[in-house]
Amino acid sequence: MSRIGPPLLVELRQVGKVYHLGESRITALKTVNLSIHRGEFVAVWGPSGSGKSTLCNLIGLLDVCSSGTVRFEGQDVAALSDDQRSELRNRGIGFVFQSFNLIPVLSALENVMLPLQISGVSTAQARRAARKRLAEVGLDDHAAHRPAKLSGGQQQRVAIARALVTDPALVIADEPTANLDSENALRITELMRRLNSNNGTTFVFSTHDQRLLERVERQIQMRDGEIIDDRSPEQPAMRLDRSVGL
Amino acid sequence: MMTWIKLALRNLFRNRRRSLFTILAIGLGFAAVNTLGGFTAYIFTSLKDSYIYAQGNGHLSVFKTGFLQEGKLDPTRYLIDEEEMGVIQQVLARHPEIVVVAPQLHISGLLSNGKVSTIFIAAGRVPSAVRRINEHARGMIGKIQLFDGKSLEDDVIHGIGLSRGLAEQLNLDLGSDAVAMAPTVSGQINALDAQVFQLFDGPVEALEDKLMSVSLKFAQSLYDTGSVDRLTLLLTNDDTTETVRAQLAGELAAEGLKLEVKTWNELSTFYTKVKQMFDVIFLFTFLIVFTIVVMSVINTVSMAIMERTREIGTLRALGFKRRGIVGLFAAESMLLGILGSLLGMVLTLITWSGVAFFKPTWIPPQITRRVPLEVYLVPDYMLYSILLLIVLSLAAASLPARTAARMQIVGALGHT
């Protein structure tokens, strides 16, 4: 079936993931099929151990699948070397972690500059881009602060600025509001939603947070390593087009 | 590059106490090795100067070929006669870098106090030439008098010096009279009256009751010859010893003389043995110190990797390559090496200044008087120590850093 719409960004076909712990095998993902298009705002939700973090890790090229195929921008990531995957993550994917994962010895500005400096961008250029992103998340006056001097909400905004500084096609957020109070969780949710609308950045995040789910156009529900529901409340008809094999 | 060095430096001071102890271990190791190195350099220089200048042996000695191997069995065969001396002097005169030429004749025989006799061996030398060699000594060596009593003189033939053991054996003291007896080169027994001018300590225990010091004229009179068995040469510069030796050997051979030229370190077995001993001590110390340094760095880097596992995962997620992680920890350990070496240099300078200021003294082997204990600053040792410590620090960090780089990103991110 042909469809006209945003281009495909990530595609998972028959993807499975098995972990080996000693002699025991743990199946984290069973045969999963999924397509994510540019500009989508996608939540992956489900109980603990349902496989949502594993799914996010595979989409974010942090891990490789045990079976099946993961394609990012049409490229089979299994065919890439570790260095090539690192380069792809650096330029194409931003990460927001539950515990913020800022580098404690770097200031907010230096943390945001980091992905650009990894890719070899000059310090002056990286500083300009990082300042712009910090201003976008409302923290331009906290640029010199080290993470320890920032609140949880501020740290997560710095992490979002860091995730966006390379203008990635995709941002993966692992329970971004889990460690935040209600007010900060709401601000972070609104911020991500605004960046998605304004910049067209694709967001995929795992969450338990019902408030966040209410603001998401596409919800993927997981249980026991499988996608059991993939729906778009406002546009249910599109869901079937986007989801492969569901 | 500066960004990563800045990051490495900041990481280094996250656990200040641990980094400080590692830097201290490196610094103390550096100071220990360089202080010991400075002390051994002082010992080697002192032994060398003592042999060349204080004992008047010069830098080079010229012998008849085979003298050192067969000379004791057939000494007359290896004597340098006056005619040969003349030719040799002409060759030596072409070398302005030779500042003193001192002929010697080593003799052996019996020394008697009138009642009992005992064996002696003696170096017959020109006292004024020996004094000229002494005067060229640097530092304290030239000022140390190695005997009690008065100097021997070129023209006061009967004046002799005795090792204390020999003097005790014959119950002789300063001013005592004695008789020296020995066969002449033609095989006749000859005897000469002598007076004890000086007493000195023998360089080795075995010679303590046998050594005698006489003027060349005394030795030649006793052996009834005008010949000598060697010529000792003092050069203006230690560094030219090998060059001059090679030139002289060639020039003397060209004159048709069967002579060999030996350097001071070939003849001073004591210097060679002491140097070998200190080299072994230095090597062991060096190995112990640097093992401690390597273990400290491995421990510091391993602990840092364990504590920063999640951070490693984050950096990898952001696009840091594996070699970037290795590079980051290598930079941290390199900084440990550099800071430790800088501290070590400061500690070495403090030790050196302390020794120079307090001027401690000691009695080294073979010298009966207290002499200043010194520690030299050896820039070469310092430079090699810095380079080696940095390389060792890098090598010590490489294994844990590679382990860190090979971590699974997901596992590292989930590390608590």
Quickly list DSSP for A112-176.
HHHHHHHTT--HHHHHHHHHHHHHHTT-GGGTT--GGGS-HHHHHHHHHHHHHTT--SEEEEEST
Q: What H or E segment, with its residue span, contains residue A42?
A: strand A41-45
Please give the Cα distance from B173 to B150 (Å, whole number).
13
Taking only the tens place, the pLDDT of each residue in A39-81 is 999 999 999 889 999 999 999 999 999 999 999 999 999 999 9
B317 → closest Cβ in A89, A117, A123: A89
Amino acid at position B21, single letter: F
| CB spacing of A89 vs B318 below 8 angstroms | yes
| DSSP conformation class of A246 | -
Q: What is the reported pLDDT for A233?
A: 55
d(CA B336, CA B168): 61
Does B324 sit within 8 Å of A83, measured CB to CB? no
Q: What is the DSSP letter of B205?
A: G
Q: Does the distance separating the beta carbons of B10 and A97 come in below 8 Å?
A: no
Q: How far apart are CA B102 and CA B131, in angstroms?
A: 10
Q: Which of B318, B332, B415 to mutate to test the interface with A (most CBs of A within 10 A)?
A: B318
Residue whose C-alpha is closest to residue B78's, from B91, B90, B69: B69
Say how far apart CA B106 and CA B108 lie, in whole Å: 7
Angle between helix B322-358 and helix B16-49 axes, rounded to 10 deg: 50
Instruction: Tell me which chain B residues have a C-beta less than 8 angstroms from the C-beta of A101.
Output: 310-311, 313-314, 317, 413
Task: Check residue A2 and give its pLDDT.
Answer: 46
Distant-in-sequence contacts of B181-184, Cβ < 8 A, 24+ apart: B181/B109, B181/B110, B181/B111, B181/B112, B181/B117, B182/B107, B182/B108, B182/B109, B182/B110, B182/B222, B182/B223, B183/B109, B184/B222, B184/B223, B184/B224, B184/B225
Query: Which residues in chain B have their CB less than 8 angstroms from residue A87's CB?
Result: 319, 321
Q: What is the pLDDT along chain B (416 residues), one digit of tens a residue?
A: 677 888 999 998 888 999 999 999 999 999 999 999 999 999 998 888 888 988 889 999 999 998 888 877 777 788 999 999 999 999 999 999 999 999 999 999 999 998 999 999 999 999 999 999 988 887 666 667 778 899 899 889 999 999 999 999 999 999 999 999 999 988 899 999 999 999 988 777 778 889 999 999 999 999 999 999 999 999 999 899 999 999 999 999 999 999 999 999 899 888 888 899 999 999 999 899 889 888 999 999 999 999 999 999 999 999 999 999 999 999 999 999 999 999 999 999 999 999 999 989 887 766 666 778 889 999 999 999 999 999 988 988 888 899 889 999 998 998 66
Chain B residues whose CB is inside 8 A of the A118 CB are 315, 318-320, 324
| B252, containing H or E segment | helix B241-254
Inter-residue contact A156 to A184 (CB < 8 Å): yes
